[in-house]
Structure 1
Amino acid sequence: MAGEVSFFELGVGDGERARKFFGGLFGWAFEPGPSDGGGFAIRTPNVPGGLHGDDPGARPYLFFAVDDMDAALERVRALGGSVDEAGPGSGEESIARFGRFRLCHDDQGTPFGLHRPPQPD
């Protein structure tokens, strides 16, 4: 599982408008996101996603699965990359529902994300 695409996030200017567009284009199902972040959870046939508004300059983010978030973040730094200190979806409800996320940049500045999916109880 480590290294596989496990989640994607779309940042857009108008979340409701994007929901209608991508729902119409791909037939994706949308659910309201957690109360701490708004937006929508996206259900696709393969990889789950998220959509948030009020972010018109955002690019799509791909999140890659990791088994140990702390070890993966240390490895990013050791390889010359950087880790954004404020991670998205850090509230308890969001972590329980979607897992842990951290935005990172490789050693050339390319953005990507790490994702530790929710763990079964």
Structure 2
Amino acid sequence: MTNPAPGTVAWFEIATSDPDGAEKFYGNLFDWTFDPDGPGASSGMDYRNIKASGADGSMGGIYGTDGQVPDHAVFYILVADVEGTCADAEQLGGSVVSKHLDPGPGAPTFAYLRDPSGNQFGVFTPPAA
């Protein structure tokens, strides 16, 4: 598996209060499989990595929200510097919704941003190897 280049959409997330239902729907629709040991599993978070049939690795995740946030889907763009990208987005008229610069061992650094039209998306840097 090759690593995606910075500036590319490299991950997506489906946040839902019904992760079992989402897993059944997307699994049957697209022949996806799911790994319940995604990032955050060690902290008790319900996060399931998604893998497409025939793919080398995971491409996204289902996040079980427990109803704590509205259901949504978001795409993530790989960047070299999350904090720098946040500053650049603000300079260009966007806004930072939240930053997670120290999410814990094995988890990526990430932030949620909004473009000037209000569309939310994520940026991330993978955890150090």
| TM-score computed with the length of structure 1 as normaliser | 0.81
Is 1:70 the counterpart of 2:83? The answer is yes
Contact 2:114 2:121 in 1 (8 A): yes
Match of 2:42 among 35, 47, 66: 35
Of 11, 14, 17, the residue aligned with 1:7 is: 11
In terms of fraction of residues, the more strand-rich structure is 2
Give the SS at the match of 1:22.
Answer: helix
Specify the code of the residue in structure 2 equivalent to 1:106.
Answer: D
- Residues 41-87 of structure 1 deviation map (CA, whole Å, 9 limit, x = unaligned): 11233761111123573221000110111211111111121112354
Give the paired residue count: 116
**Whole-angstrom CA distance in 1 between matches of 2:33 and 2:111:** 25
RMSD: 2.4
- What are the within-5 Å matches in structure 2 for residues 1-121 of structure 1? 1-32=5-36, 33=38, 34-36=41-43, 37-44=45-52, 45=55, 48-53=59-64, 54-55=66-67, 57-87=70-100, 90-93=103-106, 95=107, 99-120=108-129
Q: Answer 1 or 2: which has greater helix percent.
A: 1
Any stretches of 5+ residues in structure 1 without a counterpart?
A: none
Conservation of the 8 A alpha-carbon contact between 2:99 and 2:110: no
Residue identity opposite 1:27 in structure 2: D
The Cα shift of 1:30 comes to 0.7
Relative distance call for 1:39 and 1:66 in structure 2 (3 A) is same
1:92–1:18: structure 2 CA closer, same or farther, 3 Å change rule? same
